[in-house]
Amino acid sequence: MVSRKKTILYNILFLVGCGAIFLFLWNAPPETTAHLPHDKNHEQFMKMGKKEAEKHCAKCHAKNAIAPLPKDHPPKYRCLFCHKRT
């Protein structure tokens, strides 16, 4: 009979764990990072692989370039990790 009680306890613990994970994901904040713009300037990067496309980001988004990134921007080597392509 001890084996049956353990099985029930493990099932309850499993369900509580699944419920906790579900609630954690349900309460996650919405995605706020802007997607990679689908415009003339970024069109060529839509067809490339992520790592290949990220090599070109610094050309326009470096400190003294056309569209520099803000000072508090996170690491700049993984652009398409956050800025997803549409």
Mean per-residue pLDDT over the chain, rounded: 89
Residue 53 reports pLDDT greater than 70: yes
DSSP 71: T
pLDDT on residue 1: 59
Residue 82 reports pLDDT greater than 90: no
Q: What is the CATH number of domain 33-86?
A: 1.10.1130.20
Domain positions in the chain are 1-30, 33-86
d(CA 82, CA 51): 13
d(CA 6, CA 20): 21
SS (H, E, C) 36-70: CCCCCCCHHHHCCCHHHHHCCHHHHHCCCCCCCCC
Q: What percent of the chain is modeled with pLDDT above 90?
A: 36
Residue 62 reports pLDDT greater than 90: no
DSSP 30: P
Given pLDDT bands bounded at 50, 70 and 90, which one contains residue 33? confident
pLDDT on residue 24: 96
Question: Is this prediction's pTM over 0.95?
Answer: no
